[in-house]
A = this chain, B = another copy of it.
Amino acid sequence: MRVVRTVAALREAIAEAGDGGVGLVPTMGALHEGHLSLVRAARQDHELVIVSVFVNPTQFNDAADLDAYPRDEARDVELAASAGADLVFAPNVAEMYPQGFATTVRVTGSITHRLEGAMRGSAHFDGVATIVAKLLIAVSPDSAYFGAKDAQQVVVVRRMVADLGIPTRIVSCPTSREEGGLARSSRNARLSPSARTRALAIPRALREIEGALSHGEMDAGVLKERGLAVLRADELEVEYLEIVDPDGLEALASVTRPALCVVAVRVENVRLIDNVLLTPAHALAAER
């Protein structure tokens, strides 16, 4: 497994690899099964699989969160190799943001201002869009793989890639879940045993909403209340729980077509997000 640290070395390694296609899995390290499922998807699709490992400072709104973000490159490299990656790109901050850096790629509108954008500040998605643009320009991958857990990030990245005309296919892979249903996240490592147990209310709340929908409840307000009741029973601090349009992320009044249910909570000061795609019963019936 080769590790390169500069864009120049990265481009050289890609040129050496020849013209098979390239799949990129952008990560902030702290790899877990969720990331590895992305690497395996890339492995199936492409000849050269690159995993980038870069804890991007500009997308953190909270310096303490950035400091606490887990870093273990040797472990990440080993895990990436085990899942079939060919190359790890692990630049330092100065390589990605050299002296005098002054450019931001910004996606505007409800897809960045609502939900995570509202909670974490507009700089968060500026940071995401800018670093993803830089990575896609550096690698020129045929496909790039993102976890569906970060649903809003996928929407923002798709918009940015379409708008700038970057010729990369953006692939969203299903959220990987621990036993009990908790969405895998690098932040889960910071949960105490009791916090982890309480966090299971998040997937339970999403299942509660899915269940109510499957029994014919389509009113978004009612569905949200059902989910919130589950979260409140475990005294989770809810930042938002919303039912939104999957493309524009505007709040929906009722689930008459596919919708995204997104949730963000804090448990003992660890911030966790999750989501599920809601499909109303009549839409499911129409599919059959």
User: A249-260 toward B: CB 8 Å interface, digit per residue (1/0)?
Assistant: 000000000000
Which single residue of chain B is at the shortest CB-CB distance from A11?
B167
Q: How far is the CA of A98 from the CA of B163 in the complex (A)?
A: 8
Contacts of A137 in B (CB 8 A): 137, 164-167
Segment among A104-112, A175-183, A236-244 that sits at the interface with chain B = A104-112
User: A128-149 toward B: CB 8 Å interface, digit per residue (1/0)?
Assistant: 0100011001100000000000
| A7 interface residue (CB < 8 Å to B) | yes
Copies held by the complex: 2
Q: How far is the CA of A111 from the CA of B100 in the complex (A)?
A: 11
Instruction: Tell me how many residues of A have a C-beta within 8 Å of chain B.
Output: 27
| A103 interface residue (CB < 8 Å to B) | yes
Q: For chain A residues 81-121, which have a beta carbon within 8 Å of chain B?
A: 98, 100-109, 111
B103 and A159 form a contact (CB under 8 A): yes
A interface with B by C-beta (< 8 Å) = 7, 11, 98, 100-109, 111, 129, 133-134, 137-138, 159-160, 162-167
